Chain A
Amino acid sequence: DQQVKQNSPSLSVQEGRISILNCDYTNSMFDYFLWYKKYPAEGPTFLISISSIKDKNEDGRFTVFLNKSAKHLSLHIVPSQPGDSAVYFCAASGWEKAGTALIFGKGTTLSVSS
């Protein structure tokens, strides 16, 4: 039973365009969401996070949007660059599990072509 779902296994985007990665969750107790980027044979790298009290958080080219009523979040990368090509994971945690027990989606592979 997947509590965090990334329904698109892959996404291809041209350099300079916007990349939009989506994530859905089912557990209404989740209150903190994170996005990680991962290259092969490396650990995930933290990108950006958002608390459930917000609906948007920006950091440079990365913006995360949270729609609590739809239990949906998205990561926007503008403009996309070839170096952004990686696997992107959405993760969530909730108050019933204090600390950093993160539940991950299965990832979306982003390919940015020049």
Chain B
Amino acid sequence: KAGVTQTPRYLIKTRGQQVTLSCSPISGHRSVSWYQQTPGQGLQFLFEYFSETQRNKGNFPGRFSGRQFSNSRSEMNVSTLELGDSALYLCASSHATGMRTEAFFGQGTRLTVV
């Protein structure tokens, strides 16, 4: 069974640009959540999508947005990039059909803003 796939693995962008990251969940998983990992703040929850609807949202500015498609694939967009957005962005998928289940993570996209 294929795991969570994130593309691209590495990305370099300039301040002010926007970026789109992609995540393909494990087959059959309907929940996709996104996290930002930085050395200072650790792993922080961005948002979660379930059946194409945003179900939960963390404390990030509106520049961070996402969406989920009917095949459960998800994209995350960051507009007007700032230097502080440099981080490892991780996507996780789970069944999440009402019971508590573990989330499985992809390898992440390393974003560097210069």
A positions within 8 Å CB-CB of B:
31-32, 34, 36, 41-46, 49, 51, 89, 91, 93, 97-107
Residue among A32, A46, A89, A102 facing the most chain B CB atoms (10 A cut-off): A102
Interface class of chain B by DSSP? strand
B92 / chain A contacts, CB cutoff of 8 Å: 43, 100, 102
Interface residues of B in 1-48 (CB under 8 A from A): 4, 6, 31, 33, 35, 42-45, 48
A99 / chain B contacts, CB cutoff of 8 Å: 31, 33, 48, 50, 55-56, 96
Could you mark each residue 78-114 of chain B with 1 if its beta carbon is under 8 Å from any beta carbon of chain A, else 0?
A: 0000000000001010101010111111111010000
The closest CB in chain B to the CB of A4 belongs to B42
Nearest Cβ distance between residue A4 and chain B, in whole angstroms?
9
B positions within 8 Å CB-CB of A:
4, 6, 31, 33, 35, 42-45, 48, 50, 55-56, 58, 90, 92, 94, 96, 98, 100-108, 110
Residue among A36, A45, A101, A103 facing the most chain B CB atoms (10 A cut-off): A101
Known contacts A103-B45, A107-B42; is-contact A97 B56 (Cβ 8 Å): yes
Is B45 in contact with A102, judged by CB distance below 8 angstroms? yes
A32 / chain B contacts, CB cutoff of 8 Å: 100
Of the candidates B6, B33, B107, the one whose C-beta lies within 8 Å of that of A102 is B33
